[in-house]
Amino acid sequence: MIDNWRDAFIDLAYFISAVLLIISLNQLGSPKTARVGNQLAVGGLLLAIVATFFNRDIAGGDYWVILLGIAVGGAGGYVMAQRVQMTAMPQMIAIFNGMGGATSALIAVSEFLGKSDLGRGTVLSIALGCIIGSIALTGSLVAFAKLQGLVPSRTALPGNRQLITAGLLGGMALLGAITVILQDGALAQTVLILTFLLALAAGVLLVMPIGGADMPVVIAILNAFSGVAAVLSGFVVNNQLMIIGGTLVGASGVFLSLLMAKAMNRSIGNVIFGAFGATPSAGGAGTGGGESLPVREVTPDDAAVSLAYADRVIVVPGYGLAVAQAQHSVQELASLLQERGVDVRYAIHPVAGRMPGHMNVLLAEANVPYDDLYEMERINGDFAKTDVVLVIGANDVTNPAARDDPNSPIYGMPVLRVDEAERVIVLKRGMSTGFAGVENALFHNPKTSMLFGDAKASIGKLIAEVRAA
């Protein structure tokens, strides 16, 4: 057994920390306990960090390097966390994924350059960790830049995309394999550094051509990457806690990517290797075709009246609401109606907004109690019993073509059945399509009337009119 108390303490601390991480993930399963869960997790991490200071290898100057690093990084992270807008959450998460990947890559590299006679298994973990971590790093930076609009949404690269991809993957596999075979020595180190650089490039080249609207999926995938990279560095330094923690992250990333892909009725491969480039043109055509079809407009006061005198109203918020930062005005309108005895609920599509659960956060920020928010499965049956549906900056998630039109690119994607309600009022700026780039027949449905303009402005008018009504 363990004959040394210092090591025993460290082992125990790591073990407890692992247990805390697992429990915390369980607590994150319900809004009531989620906050405690988050605190348990950070508690576990802090415990592990403190324990690590007792490791024998850490001595003298190391403390200063470590403490300084923690201070700098921690402060930076804290500021970011406080400053970020809720609408910018995807960018924030992208950055964090990148930093996670970077850490794992750096661990792999410095372990390989710093130590000699490492076992084959360890070297393999090093090579893989270096590749995956680096891709997570640069890929996330590109994703961030796209979400921020720093680089154009769809950047066609010169040359055949499939070819480039294949080349990059092949090259990294080759270099990685060589590293593992050499296993040791100056040459091996050079090869690993080349692998590292190639992987950094690969992250950029793989994500660059992906459409900006697919970034959320990319982010979830890179989230998984950062987790897998953590697992691998766990194998590198032979630490179970890192393996377990990384696995939990990886599982979450994989699950959310699949969820999004499913909700968008796309395959992961289709997102990454993008047959998607085609759709928008189709969308453009769709939009063109759209103009010809009749569209009923509605005046704010008319819309306000039918809202004010309805029994049941369902609000369908979408990405546009986020863009317009209209969440607070929506809440104001909703409570106005509720005061008048109208039953107001929110229907949240799993991929409304720009990342999973994004709408819930935005509306929570606007003090909408989460038990007014209904997930699609729970509320889809109720639209038929609803008087007015208020669609605010949502488009694809309401598109009936997903149910009716087998030729539609989004056919099969589960959508909110808004067109079953008595009346539908749509708030958007114009007739342009959503991110899927497809025409939405809902807007031409006789039940539907459009209130054009920026969501926030339109809602402002509605509020005024409802007050008047």
Partner 1 sequence: MLGIYILTLAIFLGAVLIMRVPSTLHTPLMSATNMISGIVLIGAMLVVGSVDSWWLQVLGFLAIAFSAANVVGGYAVTDRMLKMFKQRAPAAGTSGKGER
Instruction: Report the Cα 260 to chain-centroid distance in Å.
Output: 9
**Residue 241 and residue 234 in contact, taking contact as beta carbons nearer than 8 Å:** yes
DSSP single-letter state for residue 374: E
Look up residue 450 and give its two tokens: 């459009």
CA distances from 339 to 109, 206, 240, 332 (A): 62, 52, 55, 11
Torsion angle of the four alpha carbons 60, 63, 65, 70, in this order, in degrees rounded to the nearest 10: 180
The reply to whether 205 sits near ligand NAP by the rule CB under 6 A is: no
* Closer Cβ to ligand NAP, 354 or 417, answer by number: 354
Question: At what angle are helices 240-263 and 5-27 packed, to 10 degrees?
Answer: 20
| Listed residue (193, 190, 218) closest to 203, CA to CA | 218
Stretch that binds ligand NAP, among 20-28, 127-135, 187-195, 346-354 (CB under 6 A): 346-354
Size of the site for a copy of itself (CB under 8 A): 4
CA distances from 138 to 35, 94, 107, 198, 249 (A): 31, 10, 16, 11, 19
The reply to whether 429 sits near ligand NAP by the rule CB under 6 A is: yes
**Residue 451 and residue 426 in contact, taking contact as beta carbons nearer than 8 Å:** yes
Stretch that binds ligand NAP, among 22-30, 175-183, 332-340, 434-442 (CB under 6 A): 434-442
What residues are labeled active site? 396
Q: Is 118 helix (H, G, I), strand (E, B) or coil?
A: coil
Look up residue 399 and give its two tokens: 């598109």
- Taking CB under 6 A as the criterion, which residues in 369-408 touch ligand NAP? 393-397
Stretch that binds a copy of itself, among 118-126, 189-197, 352-360, 390-398 (CB under 8 A): 118-126
The reply to whether 203 sits near ligand NAP by the rule CB under 6 A is: no
User: CB of residue 119 vs a copy of itself: minimum separation in angstroms?
Assistant: 8
User: CB of residue 45 vs partner 1: minimum separation in angstroms?
Assistant: 5
Among 120, 296, 385, 467, indicate the residue that binds a copy of itself (CB under 8 A).
120
User: CB of residue 75 vs partner 1: minimum separation in angstroms?
Assistant: 8
Among 23, 422, 454, 461, indicate the residue that binds ligand NAP (CB under 6 A).
454
The reply to whether 1 sits near a copy of itself by the rule CB under 8 A is: yes
Between CA 402 and CA 396 the distance in angstroms is 9
Q: Alpha helices, DSSP H only, in 89-152?
A: 89-114, 120-147
The reply to whether 378 sits near a copy of itself by the rule CB under 8 A is: no
What one-character-per-residue DSSP string does 188-241 give? HHHHHHHHHHHHHHHHHHHHTTS-GGGHHHHHHHHHHHHHHHHHHHHHHTT-HH
Stretch that binds a copy of itself, among 71-79, 88-96, 119-127, 235-243 (CB under 8 A): 119-127
* Closer Cβ to a copy of itself, 120 or 296, answer by number: 120
Among 77, 121, 269, 412, indicate the residue that binds a copy of itself (CB under 8 A).
121
- Taking CB under 6 A as the criterion, which residues in 248-307 touch ligand NAP? 260, 264
Q: What are φ and ψ of residue 437, in 5° steps? A: 70, 25
Element (H, E) at 411: none
User: CB of residue 13 vs a copy of itself: minimum separation in angstroms?
Assistant: 21
Binding partner of residue 120 among ligand NAP, a copy of itself, partner 1, none, CB cut-off 5 to 8 Å per kind: a copy of itself
Interacting residues with a copy of itself (CB under 8 A): 1, 119-121
Interacting residues with ligand NAP (CB under 6 A): 213, 216-217, 260, 264, 318-320, 323-324, 351-356, 358, 393-397, 427-430, 432-436, 454-455
